[in-house]
Amino acid sequence: MSQSIDIQQIDTLAQELATIQQTGSKRIALLGSRHVPITHQNLIEMMSYALVLAGNRLITSGSSGTNSAAIKGAMRADANLLTVILPQSLDRQPRESRDQLEKVIHLVEKPENDRLSLAEASSLCNAEIVSRCQQLICFAFHDSHTLLKTCEEAEEQRKLVTLFYFD
C-alpha cells in the first residue's frame, strides 16, 4: 500500500530540513510546564546553556519549572542572548520568579494582560513567543492543553517543533 504525501507535508519537511541545516544562530523558543522534576530541570538548564553557548538566541517566558531552568542556563551562557516575555506584568509573577526575572536584560512585560486570567495571558504570550522564533522546543505533559495548542500553532506557522513529554 503506497502512501501519498501532500504538498503541505512536503513544504513542512523542506522547512524542517532548512532549519536543521541552517548554520549560524537561530531564534529558539523554549517553553514548558511549571511542574517539572528537579532532574528534568537540570537537563533543561544544560540544554539552554548549550544552545546559547552555540550562539542561538533563546526566547522563553517567566515561571517556575521549565522556563526558570531555561532562563538559568541561558543567563550562565550569555544573558544578552536571552529574551523573556512575561504573560503579565512583573508584579504579577511569584516572588521566587521575580528575583530571577529582575536580572534578565531583555525582559518584556505585558501589563495590559493583568486583567486576564493567567491561562488567557499565557496563551497570548506563547503566541507572541512563537511568532518571534524559528524553532520551538516544548516540554509538556499529555494534558498540558495550553502548551500543546502552542505547539500546534507553531506547526501551522511552519516552525520546527520539538515536543518532549514528561509522562
pLDDT of the residue at 62: 86
Contact 85, 110 (CB under 8 A): yes
**Given the DSSP bridges, would you call strands 160-165 and 82-85 parallel, antiparallel or unpaired?**
unpaired
Cell of 26: 537561530
Please give the domain boundaries of the chain with CATH numbers for all domains: 25-165 (3.40.50.450)
pLDDT of the residue at 2: 46
pLDDT of the residue at 64: 86
One digit per residue, pLDDT tens: the chain, 167 residues?
445 666 666 666 666 566 556 667 899 999 999 998 899 999 999 999 999 999 999 999 988 899 999 999 999 999 999 999 999 999 998 888 899 999 999 999 999 999 999 999 999 999 999 999 999 999 999 999 999 999 999 999 999 999 999 88
pLDDT of the residue at 11: 66
* Full-model pTM: 0.85
pLDDT of the residue at 94: 84
CA dist., res. 11 & res. 46, Å (int) = 32
pLDDT of the residue at 14: 65
For residue 82, list its beta bridge partners. Answer: 58
